[in-house]
Amino acid sequence: MNEKNPSQKNDFIREIIRDDISENIHEKIVTRFPPEPNGYLHIGHAKSICLNFGVAEEFKGLCNLRFDDTNPTKEDQRYIDAIKFDVDWLGFNTENNIRYTSDYFGQLYDWAIELVNKGLAYVDDLSPEEMRAYRGTLTEPGVDSPTRNRSIAENLDLLERMKNGEYEEGEKSLRAKIDMQSGNLNLRDPVIYRIIRANHPRTKNDWCIYPMYDFGHGQSDAIEHVTHSLCTLEFEDHRPLYEWFLENLPIPSKPKQYEFSRLNLSHTILSKRRLFKLIEDGYVSGWNDPRMPTLAGLRRRGVPPTAIRDFVGRLGITKSDGIVEMSYFENTIREHLNLTAQRRMAVLNPIKIVIENYPEDPDFKDELEAINNPNNENDGIRKLLFSREIYIEHDDFMENPTKKFFRLIPGGEVRLRYAYLITCKELIKDKEGNIIELRCHYDPESRGGNAPDGRKVKGTLHWVSANYSKKATINLYNELFTEAIPGSNGNWIEDINNNSVESLSNCFVEPSILDSKPNTTIQFERLGYFCADIDSTKDNPIFNRTVPLRDTWGKKN
């Protein structure tokens, strides 16, 4: 934090911006978040989103959501729509700040002609495979293409013919003429236009040549008067090329690129290519599978956007790469939900209790009061219905208890949350010896859970009424990978956790749970935080576990 203003965020990016403002270098701070619409955003993107939109808010500037739509073979309108939704869901307003690199295709092509006219670009005949061979390595210099010294007139003619569709994909490309001997491979005559014959989501078939990211990115920044182009560290070696284009073109502004470390999270992957493989090979059900690190998957799992913003904010902005433990992310989620999530009761592995001294009339019931959220009195109370037959968790009963087992045992007494004290009188077993039912007595004078004579009762159990509950399916999600760094010991596919989800179909929940709004996470008391699935209905309720009630990573490791 800044010593002069403890609430002010402080990192090297913000320090640069503050210095630029104090020196009157910029009238207005402009940033951009430039995703390629070829997949869904993930938690790693959230760090960049929060930084770019965050500094724009802090310094009363502007952040554009700019789609890098320069490869129509991989891009789709559904990805554009999903990205817009995710950025808005995180809490950033993009309504008037949406841009597309395709908005600038005409201008970019004119600038390509400018480079050719300056003798700084040429049309090359090498295939992609030949180009890689000519490029050289980190220890060996590259070799000039045989067509590198074509005349300006010939290059202009060939470029026009490329644009007009006279050549097939891979037959020709436009390359910047920089330095094939450079120690930076990005400066060894990089391709700036290639031929792609595919229908573009926005420009349809208007173009058959498309700019490469390195050419389109910096020039789009300049067109939008971006002041600080914030990228992750893998683009650090691209910065000299970014600056080379800006220096050699008549651009309207001079943006500067700054790099920061990307987010790496344990027990998951943030490679879009690998996320695609998980989907294509059926390891997950899609981009919004609750096990995926995508924002859509996290939302379906019940993670609130405020927790994501808080999490990436706590990490800070540095130039040092590292792995953030998944437990740290889950603890941040848990902190937020503990304050905001309303409480409800659900039983995941039920065993029936019959309260023998409770009235046998099936219509007889008690109406009890339960607190919705002990951390927010404005959430009020709800009504619970208590009946002769109830369900508790099977694990909350032990026939032969261990020394420190303080839940229900034969002859033992426990408290039912918000209800009564009960004592176990008899066990009912099936032919195989499995306990299928418990017979208990309740203390009618202990309504609310307090013994009238002041006797001490240690155990408190959650429960639901057998008559006034709803059967539900509950999905328990665990880490998607067994290794902290998937693939560190070989093939990352082999590290996929085969027990990443356990689906329980014989669960019971109190009816008020069904009134929860979509994407609202609630706490199942003593069990964890859960969210209604997008496929959940009142007739077929489905809930996904967001995080357990307590940190379990220490037990796993």
The residues annotated as belonging to the active site are 36, 262, 272
| Joined tokens for residue 412 | 């033992």
* Distance of alpha carbon 402 from alpha carbon 447, whole angstroms: 29
In sequence order, which residues have a C-beta less than 8 Å from that of residue 166 and are 6 or more positions away? none
- Phi then psi for residue 116, to 5 deg, are -65, -45
User: Under a CB-based contact definition with an 8 Å cutoff, are residues 196 and 73 in contact?
Assistant: yes
Token digits for 409?
Answer: 């045992």
Residue labelled with tokens 């669960």? 507
Q: What is the dihedral of CA 31, 37, 38, 41, to 10 degrees?
A: 60
- What's the start-to-end Cα distance of the chain, in Å? 33
Coil vs helix vs strand at 265: strand
Q: What are phi and psi of 314, to 5 degrees?
A: -70, -30
Q: Is 132 exposed, middle or buried (0-12, 13-18, 19+ CB in 10 A)?
A: exposed
SS3 342: coil
Q: Is 494 helix (H, G, I), strand (E, B) or coil?
A: helix
Q: Which residue has the tokens 């965020």?
A: 9
DSSP 8-class letter at 348: S
Residue 180 neighbours by CB under 8 Å, 6+ apart: 134, 135, 136, 141, 142, 143, 144, 188, 189
Q: Which of 386, 378, 373, 452 has its CA nearest to residue 418? A: 386
CB atoms within 10 A of CB 292: 26
* Cβ partners under 8 Å of residue 457, min gap 6: 413, 414, 415, 421, 451
